[in-house]
Structure 1
């Protein structure tokens, strides 16, 4: 598959993704059974994951979204900028931040810090993908769909300069 000027190959199938999401939702539902958590999806990348995850969560829950960015093309800018903030109070709420991918940890560290400053009762992270080799910050990601190596990926919400988010599978950059 070609996106812009790069060649990508299948990495994680839609079936694998959905199976892992069902497992994560079961764990989250058990952990938050009596808490009515607030899920905060990080746009744009998490929209597919957040939607599918919430469909599988079987406890009372709410969802909202924030928008942050730390990527330009295929490179992290090294900064997390908040573009669109929360529209509701998170004080004393149990929050699960829903992210498509945690790689450097810079963005997630900033989000967690802002939520703690706002007085959340607790905050955990659910990320479809985690790149442990790329972490530059100590960020605890409690709910991880897949740990992946340091490769650029697209699909299922992840993009390359705006394209590829709509793909149902996840593809990795082909290095030939």
Structure 2
């Protein structure tokens, strides 16, 4: 039976998202912002975040996976590409967790080919424990060093995304 050890409460998450949303709105004021969520894990975070960004912006989604079952293949497969034109626009990639950095680095590399004016990264959790690629995360709600985390969009084998807070999962 899995054990869920509370790490970050629902209230802490909402407070931090409100603050990050205000910071993004200030930083992108007067710019042509496109917020792009990385499926599937970021969808809950993305929905709450975009409601806190008080400037005009557009929303899109990208799907990328490096997993087959529960194991990483080491190769990134795009399951969905952006629908919006990104040339000359300011892109903010929204990710649930930046862990090894491999996936988000490949997404950034792909996005650069679409010629945006800028690309920045926003993540719910910046988890440096297993970082393999140097990646600059401009906006981070929480930094964690270790643990297998679930809840608030983060999953284990597609389960537990629905939990309203973030937990350390012990199997």
TM-score (norm 2): 0.94
Alignment correspondent of 1:34: 30
Segments of 4+ moved more than 6 angstroms? none
Alignment correspondent of 2:156: 160
Hey, what's the Cα distance between the residues in 1 that align with 2:166 and 2:74?
Answer: 24
Hey, what's the Cα distance between the residues in 1 that align with 2:156 and 2:69?
Answer: 6
Hey, what's the Cα distance between the residues in 2 that align with 1:157 and 1:70?
Answer: 17
Gaps of 5+ in 1: none
Q: Which moved more, 1:103-112 or 1:79-88?
A: 79-88
Question: What CA deviation, in whole Å up to 9, does each residue of 1:84-120 have, x standing for no partner?
Answer: 1111221111000000000000010011111111101
Query: Aligned pair 1:95/2:126, yes or no?
Result: no
Hey, what's the Cα distance between the residues in 2 that align with 1:53 and 1:35?
Answer: 18
Query: Aligned pair 1:171/2:163, yes or no?
Result: no
- Displacement of 1:153 in angstroms is 0.6
Cα–Cα, structure 1 residues 98 and 81, in superposed 2: closer, same or farther, change >3 Å? same
- Displacement of 1:76 in angstroms is 3.8
Alignment correspondent of 2:124: 128
- Displacement of 1:74 in angstroms is 5.4
Question: What CA deviation, in whole Å up to 9, does each residue of 1:126-162 have, x standing for no partner?
Answer: 0000112211111100000101122111100011111
- Displacement of 1:75 in angstroms is 4.8
Question: What CA deviation, in whole Å up to 9, does each residue of 1:11-35 have, x standing for no partner?
Answer: 1100010111011111100100011
- Displacement of 1:73 in angstroms is 5.7
Hey, what's the Cα distance between the residues in 1 that align with 2:67 and 2:167?
Answer: 18
What RMSD over aligned residues (CA atoms) do the two structures have, in Å? Answer: 1.5
TM-score (norm 1): 0.92
Alignment of 1:139-154 (within 5 A): 139-154=135-150
